[in-house]
Amino acid sequence: MAQNDFTGIADVHHSVVAAILRAAQRGVFTSAEAQLFIDRFRIPLESPDETMSSDK
């Protein structure tokens, strides 16, 4: 995780993402796990309404 990719992450969550990246660098968890955590803070590309309507 050499680069910090804050694309799609709200400004208020940048410090959380930075903390996740630091923890991964220290070996608390793997880079793959860190990416999964970070992806939870990303703004979804589809709105929840679009996702829900496609299930019907």
Q: What is the token pair recorded at 13?
A: 């969550």
Residue 14 has pLDDT above 70, yes or no: yes
Q: Rounded to an integer, what is the distance from CA 17 to the centroid of its chain?
A: 7
In a domain, 37, yes or no: yes
Domain extent, residue 33, equals: 11-43
In a domain, 52, yes or no: no
Gap between the Cα atoms of 3 and 34, Å rounded: 13
Q: How confident is the model at residue 54 (pLDDT cuts 50, 70, 90)?
A: low
In a domain, 51, yes or no: no
Computed on alpha carbons and rounded to an integer, the radius of gyration of the chain in Å comes to 14
Give the residue with greater pLDDT, 47 vs 25: 25
Query: What total number of domains does the chain contain?
Result: 1
